[in-house]
Structure 1
Amino acid sequence: MPERVFYNQGARRVQDALETRPLADHIAGKYVTEELDESAAGMVSAAPCFYLATADAEGFPDCSYKGGLPGFVHVVAPGLLRFPSYDGNGMFRSLGNIVENPRIGMLFIDYGKPIKLRVNGIAHISTEAALLDAFPDADAVVEVAVRQVFENCPRYLHDMRCERYSDYVPRPHRTPPDPQWKLKPEYDELVRRKNG
């Protein structure tokens, strides 16, 4: 699969129109890497959530929130990440897009610092037992070959530090409760319930 240049022609046209090409070139040359350094790996490993951008075969985009306990995204190597796909609503829009188009974007935010970190890469879905064992309660594991890593200007981030983690996030030795929507009678024959 051929690698793309960092800025496409659309970005270049806007940079030229707004006279930011020299700034954009400086940032790309100095701060965009192909692997996670120690600081980026630490941020990813500590993250309780991230936002996942995918697109289908026609390029139609979708964005999804992915959450877990800190450490649910594994930094396997500087150029390799893994994260779990937990039980959800069964639509599998993100995973379905990855099947059709493996190019993804991940946005990690540390509201306390504040830092925004973008990780772009090529994703693959696995249901291999050896990978699932590392992620209790996961239905599948997404493996990401990292292609681009860069911090993004955090000046517009609000202070939204985490007060507590969701009761529904998988934890060792604990079965999370079923969400209220799964308890509606309309889903009796459609979903698997953990409690009942």
Structure 2
Amino acid sequence: MGADATTGIDYHPGQRELQDRFDTRRIADRISERLVHHALTADDMAFIDARDMVFLATVGPDGQPTCSYKGGDPGFVRVVDECTLAMPCYDGNGMFLSLGNVAAGSPVGLLFIDFEDGGRTRVEGTATVAADDPLLGTWPGALLVMRIQVTRVFPNCGRYVHHYALVERSTFVPRHRQVPPVPSWKRADWACDALPAHDPANDPGDRPVRWR
């Protein structure tokens, strides 16, 4: 039998069927027993703190999953303690697919990847979204804060991670004392008349709002 939810991964029949087909049940159980943990280690914390991106998976009440890329400056996903992460929610396309799923009670899966060295870490947990989180003001331009209560952490095989080198960090990431540019898609005909009233793209002087 697989490990239970308090000690590792409780594999479901579909996973077990594939493990047995390819004779990976033993190694799957070993990974669950030895590598899966339920709090962030010092190495996990250091790895997350150095990342400038994360892939966020959620699922809606209708069972439809979605995966979003989230980016910022290194450490924008903040380690609050060994069982808690917090991250800013910046202006996006206004659909709020991921955050809406979280608000509706979705569990979350986060995949952190180091594209230069190939390291990967998976974090799973529950999450909340708040506009009054005490950390909100520590991220310039953050609209909301998502807090993740960690339930499971484990490494992910990095052999298929393609090697990339950083060329430039996004100029759209909100930063202290900097004015982020308006994304070009907000100027497009299909979008410009449907933007929120307060959106910087509506500024007739073409001047983005400064983040404080």
Corresponding position of 2:143: 139
Structure 2: runs of 5+ lacking an equivalent: 202-206
Contact 1:44–1:108 at 8 Å: present in 2 too? yes
Contact 2:109–2:122 at 8 Å: present in 1 too? yes
Corresponding position of 2:57: 53
Number of matched residues? 194
What is the alpha-carbon distance in structure 2 between the residues aligned to residue 50 and residue 11 of structure 1?
25
Further displaced range: 31-40 or 177-186: 177-186
What is the alpha-carbon distance in structure 2 between the residues aligned to residue 183 and residue 66 of structure 1?
22
Corresponding position of 1:29: 33
Corresponding position of 2:171: 167
Percent of aligned pairs with the same residue? 39
The 1:171/1:16 distance shift into structure 2, 3 A limit, reads same
Corresponding position of 1:104: 108
Structure 1: runs of 5+ lacking an equivalent: none
Question: What TM-score does the superposition give when structure 2 sets the normalisation length?
Answer: 0.86
Further displaced range: 66-75 or 93-102: 93-102
CA shift for structure 1 position 111: 1.7
CA shift for structure 1 position 100: 1.9
CA shift for structure 1 position 60: 1.0
Which one of the candidate residues 67, 70, 73 is aligned to 1:69?
A: 73
Q: The residue matched to 2:134 in structure 1 has which SS?
A: helix
Contact 1:102–1:124 at 8 Å: present in 2 too? no
Larger RCO: Structure 1 or Structure 2 (Cα < 8 Å, ≥ 6 residues apart)? 1
Q: Structure 1: which amino acid aligns with 2:162? A: H
CA shift for structure 1 position 109: 0.3
Higher strand share: 1
Question: What TM-score does the superposition give when structure 1 sets the normalisation length?
Answer: 0.93
RMSD: 1.6
